[in-house]
């Protein structure tokens, strides 16, 4: 009887030690997950941002094709108009893929339409100039030149601090029925990736304007660095 009691006590001790070991391993695993969570979240966010930039660039290219086709006489006034394509004989030539019409950063997936006379567009032009060491890349299409004229009143007049101080009350949300020269996200979040040195989703304007390379604006693909300066 004594031998059985000792055996049972030994088995209980072993089971208790095993349970403690399991709990310790689970605790360490949970701590490791908590430590890795911010990095995982940043990786997911960065992926969405890069996809948003890729789609925004597709829209910028579609806008340029649209403006060139109509020889600068008009701008598109909805994303649907770009999706419909351009006349090509009896058919339509597609200039924008349906997937690009969805912004992965906005809750409803809709892009903000940016007017060439809007404060958002003018401020973006100034930010590009600052990022490009004071030089604004030339407009690549002569039909787009007329939309660069309003920039003359803001370039070289506002500092980087002035642009940072722009109030959210000037945040414009138009998703249709607005002649637009570019698009931007509705998300106001701070970004992981930087675009022309800008770290805010809502201030990234995807437009066919300012697409020259120029000084300080190298044509390069995004890298793994979280603070990548994405340029076209």
CB distance 166 to 123 below 8 Å: yes
Give 103's pLDDT tier (boundaries 50, 70, 90). very high
Between these two residues, 218 and 90, which has the higher pLDDT value?
90
Q: What is the pLDDT of residue 203?
A: 94
Q: What is the pLDDT of residue 68?
A: 93
* H-only helix segments in the chain: 2-69, 79-84, 119-131, 160-164
pLDDT in tens, 58-96: 999 999 999 999 999 999 999 999 999 999 888 999 999
**With 0-12 CB in 10 A as exposed, 13-18 as middle and 19+ as buried, what is 61?**
middle
User: Token match 């299409």: residue?
Assistant: 141
Q: Is the pLDDT of residue 34 over 70?
A: no
Q: What is the pLDDT of residue 100?
A: 97
Q: Is the pLDDT of residue 184 over 90?
A: yes
Q: What is the pLDDT of residue 232?
A: 45
Which range is least confidently modeled, 22-26, 68-72, 216-220? Answer: 216-220
Residue 20: CB atoms within 10 A of its CB come to 10
Average pLDDT, the chain: 79
**With 0-12 CB in 10 A as exposed, 13-18 as middle and 19+ as buried, what is 185?**
buried
d(CA 149, CA 129): 15
CB distance 18 to 198 below 8 Å: no
pLDDT in tens, 86-98: 998 889 999 999 9
Q: What is the pLDDT of residue 220?
A: 37
Between these two residues, 102 and 6, which has the higher pLDDT value?
102
Distances (CA, A) of 84 to 37, 79, 168, 187: 42, 9, 33, 26
Is the pTM above the cut of 0.85?
no
Q: What is the pLDDT of residue 18?
A: 75
Quote the radius of gyration of the chain (alpha carbons, Å): 26
Cα distance from N-terminal residue to C-terminal residue, the chain: 84
Q: What is the pLDDT of residue 156?
A: 61
Q: Is the pLDDT of residue 218 over 50?
A: no
**Residues above pLDDT 70, as percent of the chain:** 70
Give 221's pLDDT tier (boundaries 50, 70, 90). very low
Q: What is the pLDDT of residue 224?
A: 35
Q: Output the six-digit token pair for 75.
A: 């701008």
Q: Is the pLDDT of residue 179 over 80?
A: yes
From the list 207, 211, 165, the residue with the least C-alpha distance to 67 is 207
pLDDT in tens, 107-128: 999 999 999 989 899 889 888 8
């Amino acid at each position: 009887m004594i031998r059985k009691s000792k055996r049972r006590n030994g088995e209980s001790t072993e089971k208790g030690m095993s349970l403690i070991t399991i709990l310790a391993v689970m605790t360490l695993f949970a701590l490791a997950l908590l430590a890795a969570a911010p990095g995982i979240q940043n990786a997911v966010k960065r992926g969405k941002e890069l996809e948003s930039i890729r789609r925004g660039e597709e829209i910028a290219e579609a806008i340029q094709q649209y403006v060139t086709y109509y020889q600068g006489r008009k701008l598109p006034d909805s994303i649907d108009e770009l999706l419909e394509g351009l006349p090509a004989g009896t058919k339509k030539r597609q200039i924008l893929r349906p997937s690009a019409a969805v912004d992965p950063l906005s809750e409803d997936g809709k892009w903000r339409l940016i007017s060439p006379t809007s404060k958002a567009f003018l401020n973006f032009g100034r930010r590009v100039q600052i990022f490009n060491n004071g030089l604004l890349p030339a407009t690549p299409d002569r039909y787009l030149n007329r939309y660069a004229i309003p920039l003359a009143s803001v370039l070289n007049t506002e500092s980087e601090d002035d642009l940072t101080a722009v109030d959210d009350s000037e945040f414009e949300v138009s998703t249709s029925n607005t002649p637009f020269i570019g698009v931007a996200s509705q998300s106001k979040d701070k970004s992981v990736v930087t675009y022309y040195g800008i770290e805010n989703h809502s201030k990234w304007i995807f437009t066919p304007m300012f697409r020259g390379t120029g000084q300080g604006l190298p044509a390069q693909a995004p890298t793994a660095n979280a603070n990548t300066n994405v340029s076209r």
